[in-house]
Amino acid sequence: MKKALKILGFVILTIIILLIVAPFIFESQLKDLVKKTMNDNLNAQVDFKDIDLSMFRSFPEATLVIEDLSIINNEPFKGDTLALGEEVTLEMSIKELFKSSEEPKKIDRLTLNKAYVNIKVDSLGNANYDIAVEDTTTVSSNSESTPFSLDLKHYEINNSRVKYDDKSSKTSLDIENLNHEGTGDFSLDQSELDTYSEALVSLNYDGVNYLNQNSLILDAVIQMDLENMKYTFLENEAKVNQLPLTFDGYVQVNENDTEMDVSFKTPSSDFKNFLAVIPEIYAKNIENVDTNGDFVLNGRIFGKTDDTFIPKMDIKITSSNASFKYPDLPKSVQDINLDMEILNDTGLAEETYININNATFRIDQDRFTANGNISNITENMLIDLALKGTVNLANISKAYPLEMEQDLNGMLTADIKTSFDMNSIEKEQYQNVKSSGTASLKNFRYSSPEIPNEVQIANADLSFNQGNVSVPNLKMTTGKTDITASGSLQNLIGFLLTDEQLKGNFQVQSNTFSVNDFMVAETEEITSTDESGNNKTVAKTTGKEAVKVPSFLDMELRFNANTVLYDNLELKNAKGLLIIRDETARLQDISTNIFNGSIGLNGLVSTKNTTPVFEMDLNLNSLDIASSFNSLELMQNLAPLASAIEGKLQSTLSLKGNLNEDLTLQMSSLVGNALAELLTAEINPEKADLLSKLDDQLNFINFKDIDLSKLKTKLTFTDGMVQIAPMNFNIKGIDFQVAGSHGFDMNMNYDLKLDVPAKYLGSDIGNTLGKLSGESLANTTVELPIGITGNFQSPQIKLNMQQAVNNLTQKVVAQQKKNLEGKAVDAINDILQGKRDPKKPFNKNDSTAVNSQKTDSTGAPIPMNKDSLNQSQQKQVQEAAKNILGGLLKGNKKKTDTTKQN
């Protein structure tokens, strides 16, 4: 007995050692085998991170785990991902490991975890899953040609996703959160497969969304005939959202087509089945809903499907005198009647049609009905609908548990008939649209965190006529804004059914229109996790406000507003044409009164790009300078000295640049030019540091007495700099010349030149000039060049004294030369007339500017020039010039002395 136990223990120990050692022996072999199998059989880039072989994970079977498997397509889908798998698990008998590499290994169980399968079919019918390498070798029928064979008893697909995008058939299928498992015996020709599946399914066909993450659960037993590829449903139950369905029939896959005959129906006629059709997120908990009446869904899908045909369909939905009431809501929905059918008698996709024979409901006394049909669904869809009734929108949320950011309210009344085809809508051939009837919305209110004030629509009337919808009356208020409008919409149906822009034109009247009432609060998406562990994304305001030109509008608005409020501005009698198109607002022939004057403008504002831009041509007529300076940042930057000017301004401006999100100017981006004229203008130097400082330093002029009326100037601005073209003007006999530039940062660099007549210098200075020049210089001017730098708050004023002295000296010397030349001529004339002895020299008193005079050989005086003055005389003139200029710029301000002027 002990010997037997020893032998048994030895055997067990040997087996354990073999189980531990086996992975090291076979793992490398299996890794090579998997790679060889994939490379030999797949035309794709296949890779995996690692392969792990375990003898204990599923003992007594061996477990082969392939980690991070990826299959990337070659041409014609090069670079596309066909499949990804975080973990692929194969279970097989341990004895399969001891087979040679040429013998097929049978797989008993297959598990696929966190997989992503991306199936594509292009417009030519090429499929990215067609990657199997064609086998050109000939093998006997009883030989195995592959290293692995499926002898499955169980398979699983967990937490995976399958996407199917077929361009040729315009079909898109997205299966998310897929969990599927099946148990059967694939080694038999005839067997039963017990399956369970659950997923979120989205289906889009030819641009129409039929399912959108609808919950699908299928628990079915399928009879498999693998030899004939026929699958028959035995026991089954499905749920679409919460709608239970049972079905029977079969699907058979043939060589060139697929044949099917499947019938389905609701297991009961309870009206809760109707609520169950609605996605659970909207239907909420229907178990406690009180329902009456019936709801029946039954149908049949049958026939063959191939490249030409789809299965035929006969699906009916009916309900009679039904009602429902949620226990926590005050109102019920009653008199529900449904009679709908989906039919296809030929198997041609374009001949599928939907009949809405009757659809009615009532809440309180409000009744609504609809009927019509939709045909030619896959080609040029034809729609014929009629809607009639009255609905108090507030009652909808009182009868049905809608989760909406905005509560429904207002009274909707409609009596509309419409018939059209989608091609006409898409090609904007609205003459083919046949519509008639009326609709109205009264006492509607809308509020949102994204807008500052509630929007109230007192009345909105619509009248349908062919493809056009006239709006004879629209009255709306929000915040300070009131709007009365009338006009027409060209493509309301196209806008509602497709992604077309809403086109129309309106006449708009407003007593007060506030732009601030339409500032949209910017939002950002914030993702958080709720108590159930589900991610929830909500929009949260960022605290910023922006004005966006709506991308869906193509409108022409002829408007007239008594008052327009924009930022801190108040515009009166604003009128003109506003064209909204391509996220751009174009302003044409706009006129308005502001600052006791008027403005005319043409231009555009575009919010199409990330940074809004604008272009504008403005005519400013008789604007009050002080008011416009205090209210307009543009004026403060272009003409800072306007703060000290009182009067009227006339100007033309052409400018463009970038805008902030609230449509205020980005001054640094401004480019343009302006031509301005002061109609009437007086200066108050105390309001501008620069003028005040000039007023203090220039004794001969009082800035308060200056009138700048009719002064014209031209400005150009770019890169944050304003350049003033040289301008000359005369104020009370004083010639001014100004040129230079300043920045929007208020730094400046200007040159100012003044030609001051001698009569402004006073009698003392005039007598000094007279003594220097030999006579009174009533018409002489003193040129003063002044450099102005620093900034407007702290200006630096600098007189170019040396240049001023030189200029004045040259004028005095020139006058002296003129005087000497005149006296010389007089002397020659006296000699010629015998009135003077030619040998007698000039007396020193003959000239106030010189002490002696040179004569020629005859004794006649030689004319003198400025070079003839000796150095002491020139120095005398320069010193006098400095004294004169110093008197102009220093000391207390004096009144102009004109008592001794001519």
Q: Would the pLDDT of 534 be above 70?
A: no
pLDDT score recorded for residue 54: 66
pLDDT-derived band of residue 650, with 50, 70 and 90 as boundaries?
Answer: confident
pLDDT in tens, 570-586: 889 999 998 888 888 88
Q: Would the pLDDT of 867 be above 60?
A: no
pLDDT score recorded for residue 9: 42
> Which has more confidence, 861 or 208?
208
Q: How big is the CA angle at 874 (ends 870 and 876), to the nearest 5 degrees?
A: 115
Helix (H), strand (E) at residue 27: helix 2-41
pLDDT score recorded for residue 25: 45
Percentage of the chain modeled with pLDDT above 90:
14
The least confident of 103-117, 659-673, 812-826 is: 812-826
pLDDT score recorded for residue 762: 52
Cα within 13 Å of Cα(97), Cβ side? 26
Tokens 């002397």 identify what position? 827
User: CA–CA separation, 263 vs 232, rounded Å?
Assistant: 12
pLDDT score recorded for residue 421: 86
pLDDT score recorded for residue 414: 92
Q: Are 555 and 584 in contact (CB under 8 A)?
A: no
Q: Would the pLDDT of 863 be above 70?
A: no
Q: Are 177 and 200 in contact (CB under 8 A)?
A: yes
User: CA–CA separation, 156 vs 181, rounded Å?
Assistant: 4
pLDDT score recorded for residue 85: 86
Residues 599-614 have a mean pLDDT of 88
What are the backbone dihedrals phi and psi of residue 752, each rounded to the nearest 5 degrees, phi first? -125, 125
Question: Residue 617 has which token pair?
Answer: 């041509």
| 679 strand-pairing partners | none
Percentage of the chain modeled with pLDDT above 70:
70
pLDDT score recorded for residue 19: 42
The least confident of 130-139, 199-208, 723-732, 819-828 is: 819-828
Residues 210-238 have a mean pLDDT of 85
pLDDT-derived band of residue 256, with 50, 70 and 90 as boundaries?
Answer: confident
> Which has more confidence, 250 or 204?
250
Question: Residue 425 has which token pair?
Answer: 């809508």
pLDDT in tens, 320-364: 999 998 888 899 999 999 999 999 999 888 888 999 999 999 999
Residues 161-176 have a mean pLDDT of 85
464-468 long-range contacts (CB < 8 A, ≥24 apart) are: 464/416, 464/418, 464/435, 464/436, 464/437, 464/438, 464/439, 465/435, 465/436, 466/430, 466/431, 466/433, 466/434, 466/435, 467/420, 467/430, 467/431, 467/432, 467/433, 467/435, 467/491, 467/493, 468/430
pLDDT in tens, 272-283: 888 777 766 666
pLDDT score recorded for residue 341: 94
Top-confidence range, 104-113, 152-161, 295-304, 559-568: 295-304
Residues 110-137 have a mean pLDDT of 80
CA torsion sign for 862, 864, 867, 872 is positive
pLDDT score recorded for residue 330: 92
pLDDT-derived band of residue 872, with 50, 70 and 90 as boundaries?
Answer: low
DSSP strand E in 449-519: where? Answer: 455-465, 468-478, 481-489, 502-514
Spatial CA neighbour of 779 closest among 823, 735, 821: 735
Q: How big is the CA angle at 73 (ends 72 and 77), to the nearest 5 degrees?
A: 135
User: CA–CA separation, 93 vs 91, rounded Å?
Assistant: 7
pLDDT score recorded for residue 103: 62
Burial 556-578 (b: 16+ CB within 10 A, else e): bbbbebebbbeeeeebeebebeb
DSSP 8-class letter at 668: G
Residues 29-40 have a mean pLDDT of 66
Residue ranges per structural domain of the chain: 241-382, 595-727, 765-889
Residues 301-310 have a mean pLDDT of 87
pLDDT-derived band of residue 22, with 50, 70 and 90 as boundaries?
Answer: very low
Question: Residue 12 has which token pair?
Answer: 């067990």
DSSP strand E in 241-308: where? Answer: 243-253, 258-265, 290-305
pLDDT score recorded for residue 868: 47
pLDDT score recorded for residue 465: 83
Q: Mean pLDDT of all residues in the chain?
A: 76
Q: Are 664 and 769 in contact (CB under 8 A)?
A: no
pLDDT score recorded for residue 562: 93
The least confident of 255-269, 738-752, 840-854 is: 840-854
pLDDT in tens, 415-449: 999 888 888 877 878 778 888 899 998 998 877 66
pLDDT score recorded for residue 846: 47
> Which has more confidence, 169 or 593?
593
pLDDT score recorded for residue 281: 62
pLDDT-derived band of residue 99, with 50, 70 and 90 as boundaries?
Answer: low
3-state secondary structure of 876: helix
> Which has more confidence, 497 or 441?
441
Q: Would the pLDDT of 852 be above 70?
A: no
